[in-house]
């Protein structure tokens, strides 16, 4: 276990030596005193993105009007290739920026199931993100297939051994999150992909919490399919379009279920019947969100400039530091680590368990520290490496210590009862 000195000057020293420190200044910081540890939910606004969106709106839309479609039409592929080459380990022609993660998941899961006729099982884990479980259950129901759930420890995540036990000759598709949304546990993509493919099934990875926080090597792992969002570590903004990846060798043999005109071979031929485009293009559906896709490009450029290797390194050090301070200050007050302790086994966020996590989260927001709450009793803290200083982590943990010690969270009502 890594140990760190407890005084704030240590964090200040880390910030002074941080090669990525200056990137913080390239984001909107209207309240410089705010400590933001929720970049894994909604990333901060890059200043370059605000400028680019203004240009898209005023210049490309306002002045260019419909003429701008000449270059807008290729934006989902351009943004996809940029994202693929810098952050997904994907050669050109395999990634599109389009639709939402949920919709992309549906398109790819349905296509994958149909590509394995005679196989009737989709596998996921019972702690996968809700939209993944719901979509996969819906796809299974539509096609008369079964959804098999791997029981997963919510703090340590899904293991290769559990996947091996869950797949067999009936399995068509295994769909898992690369980094677990609650604990941050990082799944072994290479090993799991091998296990699934050895069983004759396809893999579909949800990269929402890993893209931009950990290096992703889709081509090198031999992954089949992947989806992910862009509003977390990619900082593309609320509702910005998601992405999808289809391995080059697979695209031509899959038929996606949303047969929109943007996926048509000769889109402007306006022909009588759907005839899918030959490669990745067939996974487009309808008119793309241009301002949102432009924001994805800007977000990717910023992370590419920082370098995913350096971001990963800083993310591991920030979360190691957070855990060390939590061990020293918060464990004696009843906060228990609910994420993998080994940095190599987690993404860039950490969960702490406490029966009053919800109220502690409210009290933190009042004190100017934005984290997150996740059921059933988790305080989720995500120090996104490009926007977070080591001193932010020290300040956030110090504030948490004061709130838990003084029970200041009792100023807030308990978590409202959920509708059952
Ligand atoms: C792992 C995971 N998948 C999917 C989503 C959400 O998908 P969508 O953008 O379609 O709402 C999230 C949102 O936080 C997520 O964490």
Q: What is the pLDDT along the chain (420 residues), one digit of tens a residue?
A: 567 888 999 999 999 999 999 999 999 999 999 999 999 999 999 999 999 999 999 999 999 999 999 999 999 999 999 999 999 999 999 999 999 999 999 999 999 999 999 999 999 999 999 999 999 999 999 999 999 999 999 999 999 999 999 999 999 999 999 999 999 999 999 999 999 999 999 999 999 999 999 999 999 999 999 999 999 999 999 999 999 999 999 999 999 999 999 999 999 999 999 999 999 999 999 999 999 999 999 999 999 999 999 999 999 999 999 999 999 999 999 999 999 999 999 999 999 999 999 999 999 999 999 999 999 999 999 999 999 999 999 999 999 999 999 999 999 988 887 765
**152 C-alpha to center of ligand 1: Å?**
19
Does ligand 1 come within 6 angstroms of the Cβ of 181?
yes
Residue with CA at minimum distance from ligand 1 atom 14: 41
> Is the distance from CB of 56 to CB of 295 less than 8 angstroms?
no
Compute the distance between CA of residue 387 and CA of residue 311 in angstroms, rounded to an integer. Answer: 10
Does ligand 1 come within 6 angstroms of the Cβ of 224?
no
Compute the distance between CA of residue 282 and CA of residue 277 in angstroms, rounded to an integer. Answer: 5
Q: Which helix (H) or strand (E) holds 195?
A: helix 189-198
Candidate from 39, 42, 101 with most ligand 1 atoms within 8 A of CB, to mutate = 101
| Token pair recorded at residue 371 | 């984290």
**276 C-alpha to center of ligand 1: Å?**
27
Residue with CA at minimum distance from ligand 1 atom 15: 208
> What positions carry a catalytic annotation?
129, 206, 231-232, 380
Does ligand 1 come within 6 angstroms of the Cβ of 206?
yes
Does ligand 1 come within 6 angstroms of the Cβ of 129?
yes
**229 C-alpha to center of ligand 1: Å?**
7
Looking at residue 124, its pLDDT comes to 98
| Token pair recorded at residue 385 | 């490496």
Compute the distance between CA of residue 162 and CA of residue 229 in angstroms, rounded to an integer. Answer: 26
| Token pair recorded at residue 302 | 């910023």
Looking at residue 293, its pLDDT comes to 98
Does ligand 1 come within 6 angstroms of the Cβ of 177?
yes
> Is the distance from CB of 227 to CB of 108 less than 8 angstroms?
yes
> Is the distance from CB of 205 to CB of 222 less than 8 angstroms?
no
Does ligand 1 come within 6 angstroms of the Cβ of 267?
no
196-220 b/e (C-beta count within 10 Å ≥ 16 → b): bbebebbbbbbbbbbbbbbebebbe
**102 C-alpha to center of ligand 1: Å?**
7
**27 C-alpha to center of ligand 1: Å?**
23
Compute the distance between CA of residue 118 and CA of residue 170 in angstroms, rounded to an integer. Answer: 8
Looking at residue 1, its pLDDT comes to 57
Looking at residue 6, its pLDDT comes to 87
Contacts of 315 (CB under 8 A, 6+ apart): 213, 214, 347, 348, 383, 384, 385
Does ligand 1 come within 6 angstroms of the Cβ of 205?
no
Report the 3 state secondary structure along 125-162.
ECCCCHHHHHHHHHHHHHCCCEEEEECCCCCCCCCHHH
Adjacent-strand bridge partners of 185: 346
Adjacent-strand bridge partners of 176: 205
Residue with CA at minimum distance from ligand 1 atom 16: 181
Looking at residue 311, its pLDDT comes to 98
Residue 84 φ then ψ, to 5°: -60, -45
Looking at residue 2, its pLDDT comes to 66
| Token pair recorded at residue 307 | 């370098």
Adjacent-strand bridge partners of 203: 174
Task: Provide the CA 364 distance to its chain's centre, in angstroms.
Answer: 24
Does ligand 1 come within 6 angstroms of the Cβ of 321?
no
> Is the distance from CB of 354 to CB of 360 less than 8 angstroms?
yes
């Amino acid at each position: 276990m890594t140990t760190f000195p407890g005084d704030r000057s240590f964090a200040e020293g880390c910030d002074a030596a941080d090669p990525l420190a200056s990137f913080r200044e390239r984001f909107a910081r209207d309240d410089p005193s705010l400590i933001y540890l929720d970049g894994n939910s909604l990333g901060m606004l890059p200043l370059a993105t605000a400028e680019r969106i203004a240009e898209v709106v005023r210049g490309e839309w306002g002045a260019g009007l419909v003429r701008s479609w000449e270059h807008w039409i290729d934006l989902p592929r351009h943004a996809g290739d940029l994202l693929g080459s810098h952050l997904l380990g994907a050669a050109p022609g395999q990634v599109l920026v389009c639709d939402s993660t949920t919709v992309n998941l549906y398109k790819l899961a349905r296509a994958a199931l149909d590509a394995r006729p005679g196989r009737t099982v989709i596998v996921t884990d019972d702690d996968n993100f809700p939209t993944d479980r719901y979509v996969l259950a819906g796809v299974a129901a539509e096609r008369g297939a079964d959804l098999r759930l791997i029981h997963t420890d919510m703090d340590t995540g899904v293991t290769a051994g559990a996947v091996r036990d869950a797949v067999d000759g009936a399995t068509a598709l295994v769909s898992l999150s690369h980094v677990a949304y609650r604990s941050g546990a990082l799944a072994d993509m290479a090993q799991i992909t091998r296990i699934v493919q050895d069983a004759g099934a396809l893999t579909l990875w949800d990269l929402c919490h890993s893209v931009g926080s950990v290096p992703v090597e889709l081509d090198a792992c031999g992954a089949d399919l992947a989806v992910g969002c862009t509003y977390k570590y990619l900082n593309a903004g609320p509702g910005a379009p998601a992405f999808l990846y289809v391995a080059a060798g697979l695209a031509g043999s899959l038929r996606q279920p949303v047969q929109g005109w943007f996926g048509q071979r000769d889109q402007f031929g306006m022909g009588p019947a759907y005839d899918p485009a030959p490669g990745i293009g067939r996974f487009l559906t309808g008119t793309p969100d241009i301002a949102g896709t432009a924001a994805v490009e800007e977000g990717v450029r910023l992370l590419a400039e920082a370098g995913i290797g350096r971001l990963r390194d800083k993310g591991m050090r920030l979360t190691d530091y957070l855990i060390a301070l939590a061990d020293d200050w918060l464990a004696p007050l009843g906060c228990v680590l609910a994420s993998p302790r080994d940095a190599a086994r987690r993404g860039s966020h950490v969960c702490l368990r406490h029966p009053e996590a919800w109220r502690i989260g409210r009290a933190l927001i009042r004190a100017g520290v934005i984290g997150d709450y996740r059921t059933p009793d988790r305080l989720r803290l995500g120090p996104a490496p490009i926007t977070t200083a080591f001193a932010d982590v020290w300040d956030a943990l110090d504030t948490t210590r004061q709130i838990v010690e003084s029970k200041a969270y009792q100023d807030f009502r308990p978590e409202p009862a959920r509708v059952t």
